Amino acid sequence: MNFLFKIVDFFYQKKNYSFLKKKIFNKISIFIDVGAHHGDTINEFLKIFSIEKIYAFEPSKKNLIKLKNKAAKIEKIKNTKVKIFPFGLGNKEEILELNEIADGVSNTFNNLNFNSSYFRKKKLITTLFGIKKFIKDKAPTKIIRLKEFLKKEKINKIDFIKIDTEGFEFNILLGLEEDIKKVKFILFEHHYDNMIIKDYKYKDIHKLLLDHGFQKIFKTKMPFRKSFDYIYENKNLF
Residue 3 has what pLDDT? 47
CATH topology of domain 2-237: Rossmann fold (3.40.50)
For the chain, the domains span 2-237
pLDDT < 70 stretches in the chain: 1-12, 103-105, 129, 131
Q: Is 33 helix (H, G, I), strand (E, B) or coil?
A: strand
Residue 34 and residue 165 in contact, taking contact as beta carbons nearer than 8 Å: yes
DSSP structure class, residue 35: S
Please report which residue ranges of the chain form alpha helices under DSSP H. Answer: 2-23, 40-48, 61-77, 117-128, 146-153, 169-174, 202-211
